[in-house]
A and B are shown apart, each in its own frame.
Chain A
């Protein structure tokens, strides 16, 4: 039986401490007044300043003032964006892993029961992840940050497009919806996981059948609420803009990230000798899902991009204009990482059985999908003042540390091989 080792525990705690220190530093380090920002901008544009000095006039000074104020709000948002992006990414990763797990139950899959405990372990992060998100939302609602501009009554009053949307985008309804999504996901996931654990001591087929039904119910609930969640938590940041396949797009990203996390943790535990019953064919299947879902993500990314690019309607194209102008490297870079890389590396059938290749491509897929979330969120909150610096990296470390701690702690409490699942023998003998 696996117990969280001292090394994992220590790594997780160090990650959390380093991340927390970095995040606190970046909150303290944000400029607090327009003067500070002006000074920063002046330092940055020293060369420009000398050239345009002659053109200085009243208008120009005015421009500078409003620009500096604009940059100030963006910089104040920067650490918030960083922590929100990584919190959301890891929470949705855990949710994606659970959706994958529910699909195994609903489809009565024969290959996967030996991996159930790992999938359940990853989904355990949903509860702490959701609490962090709710805390960030409360800070947003109290106007402590400007992640969601529609939460600011002053902006809404002066913006006819947003005021027309207040029937849906208002703070009380936002929280009610968030609680319904999170409550439904966590409740159903806990019941399903508990049933699966009860099966260990109680060989009752009814528990298995119950999980089949509950998983089907979860999947229906999930695909509707996931779509709405993506509008609420991500799409509403660019409040004017909307896309009808955004829910699927976010789903593909979280799904591939969740499957990748399952594959990486399985390989790690197998390497330590705790999962001897997992064979090459199981790893091969997970890698196939990583490959397939990466292609699926690209398909949705491109579908969204092509229609907007082709029709060239200003209120739609503004979304991609902001990304291509200010986020060229992460925007196109993540497409390369999330598409070309898995396509070329994981296409070969033999490579899907080689652990180090899966670990290597898995880590790049996780980085790529983190960047995907960053490019979905940051242009609407920090705009052109973005950079991947201390706030972003320390938020990822903080949340990754918490994720590792919660997941391995959950894995250490159960037998890694489920018992009494009717498909267990098929899964153990699974051979591709």
Chain B
């Protein structure tokens, strides 16, 4: 019984939140919670680390800005100098206002797309990936909490989870 998990199913997100808090307060480790929809505040209640996706978005935005600047400089100034707005200065900085929309758009484009790709990679999602839910009903109307257990504590943990309002409790091999 080295690596087993206890699966507790709940029918309501408020009850689930209270259960998560009580399990954490008793110093058990919650492996994962499966919910049919995002539950507000669940990440904080589970003690998950804050997402660093925002930082990557900022960095990707800077990459987009640099790419746009380099691209416009090469296309419009170096490779084939353009007379922009009747002001043939052939200098990047003097023509910069007309490149701002492109710089802005590519900043957004890079930040958005690369952030989505990062999110998929980080959550291990890709095409034809098999679903990981232990119970199909978590895609409909049930909430499932997975807690790692060992021989010593599975009795008292079961009691705790039962008292927290679980409708079903299962012990499963990992």
| Any B CB within 8 A of the CB of A173 | no
A302 to B41, CA, bound (A): 39
**Which residues 63-97 of B sit at the A interface, judged by CB distance below 8 A?**
84-87, 97
Task: Pick 20 A–B contacts, CB within 8 A, sort by A.
Answer: A302-B97, A302-B100, A305-B97, A306-B97, A306-B98, A306-B100, A306-B101, A309-B85, A309-B97, A310-B84, A310-B85, A310-B97, A310-B98, A311-B85, A312-B85, A312-B86, A312-B87, A347-B58, A349-B54, A431-B41
A364 to B97, CA, bound (A): 25
A312 CB contacts on chain B under 8 angstroms = 85-87
Whole-angstrom distance from the CB of A311 to the nearest CB of chain B?
7
A312 to B86, CA, bound (A): 8
Chain A, interface size: which category?
Answer: 10 to 19
B101 CB contacts on chain A under 8 angstroms = 306
**Which residues 299-342 of A sit at the B interface, judged by CB distance below 8 A?**
302, 305-306, 309-312
List the count of A-B residue pairs having beta carbons below 8 Å apart.
20
Chain A 389-432: CB-based contact to B (< 8 A → 1; otherwise 0): 00000000000000000000000000000000000000000010
Whole-angstrom distance from the CB of B159 to the nearest CB of chain A?
32
A309 to B87, CA, bound (A): 10
A306 CB contacts on chain B under 8 angstroms = 97-98, 100-101
A290 to B82, CA, bound (A): 39
Whole-angstrom distance from the CB of B14 to the nearest CB of chain A?
14
Whole-angstrom distance from the CB of A351 to the nearest CB of chain B?
12
B84 CB contacts on chain A under 8 angstroms = 310
A302 to B101, CA, bound (A): 10
Known: A312-B87, A347-B58, A431-B41. 16 other contacts (CB 8 A): A302-B97, A302-B100, A305-B97, A306-B97, A306-B98, A306-B100, A306-B101, A309-B85, A309-B97, A310-B84, A310-B85, A310-B98, A311-B85, A312-B85, A312-B86, A349-B54
A335 to B48, CA, bound (A): 40
A310 to B94, CA, bound (A): 11
Return the chain B residue nearest A306 by Cβ.
B97
Whole-angstrom distance from the CB of A298 to the nearest CB of chain B?
10
Count chain B CB atoms within 10 A of each CB in A310, A312, A349 and give the residue with the most: A310
Chain B, interface size: which category?
Answer: 10 to 19
The secondary structure that dominates the B interface is: helix
Return the chain B residue nearest A310 by Cβ.
B85
Chain A 274-302: CB-based contact to B (< 8 A → 1; otherwise 0): 00000000000000000000000000001
B58 CB contacts on chain A under 8 angstroms = 347
Whole-angstrom distance from the CB of B43 to the nearest CB of chain A?
13
Whole-angstrom distance from the CB of B73 to the nearest CB of chain A?
18
B41 CB contacts on chain A under 8 angstroms = 431
Whole-angstrom distance from the CB of B132 to the nearest CB of chain A?
29
A349 to B54, CA, bound (A): 9
Chain A 345-359: CB-based contact to B (< 8 A → 1; otherwise 0): 001010000000000
A307 to B118, CA, bound (A): 37
B98 CB contacts on chain A under 8 angstroms = 306, 310
A311 to B101, CA, bound (A): 16
A306 to B101, CA, bound (A): 10
Return the chain A residue nearest B87 by Cβ.
A312
Return the chain B residue nearest A347 by Cβ.
B58
B85 CB contacts on chain A under 8 angstroms = 309-312
B87 CB contacts on chain A under 8 angstroms = 312
Count chain A CB atoms within 10 A of each CB in B86, B97, B101 and give the residue with the most: B97
Return the chain B residue nearest A311 by Cβ.
B85
Chain B 23-47: CB-based contact to A (< 8 A → 1; otherwise 0): 0000000000000000001000000
A305 CB contacts on chain B under 8 angstroms = 97
Whole-angstrom distance from the CB of B88 to the nearest CB of chain A?
12
A431 to B44, CA, bound (A): 13
Instruction: In the A-B complex, list the 6 residue pairs whose CB atoms are closest, starting with the nearest.
Output: A310-B85, A309-B97, A306-B97, A312-B86, A312-B85, A310-B98
A311 CB contacts on chain B under 8 angstroms = 85
A349 CB contacts on chain B under 8 angstroms = 54
Whole-angstrom distance from the CB of B56 to the nearest CB of chain A?
14
Return the chain B residue nearest A348 by Cβ.
B54
A311 to B84, CA, bound (A): 10
Return the chain B residue nearest A305 by Cβ.
B97
Return the chain B residue nearest A309 by Cβ.
B97
Whole-angstrom distance from the CB of B142 to the nearest CB of chain A?
26
Return the chain A residue nearest B101 by Cβ.
A306
Whole-angstrom distance from the CB of A118 to the nearest CB of chain B?
27
A306 to B85, CA, bound (A): 11
A305 to B85, CA, bound (A): 13
A306 to B98, CA, bound (A): 7
Whole-angstrom distance from the CB of B96 to the nearest CB of chain A?
10
**Which residues 92-123 of B sit at the A interface, judged by CB distance below 8 A?**
97-98, 100-101
Whole-angstrom distance from the CB of A36 to the nearest CB of chain B?
41
A310 to B101, CA, bound (A): 13
A44 to B68, CA, bound (A): 47
A347 CB contacts on chain B under 8 angstroms = 58
A310 to B82, CA, bound (A): 14
Return the chain A residue nearest B84 by Cβ.
A310
Whole-angstrom distance from the CB of A238 to the nearest CB of chain B?
21
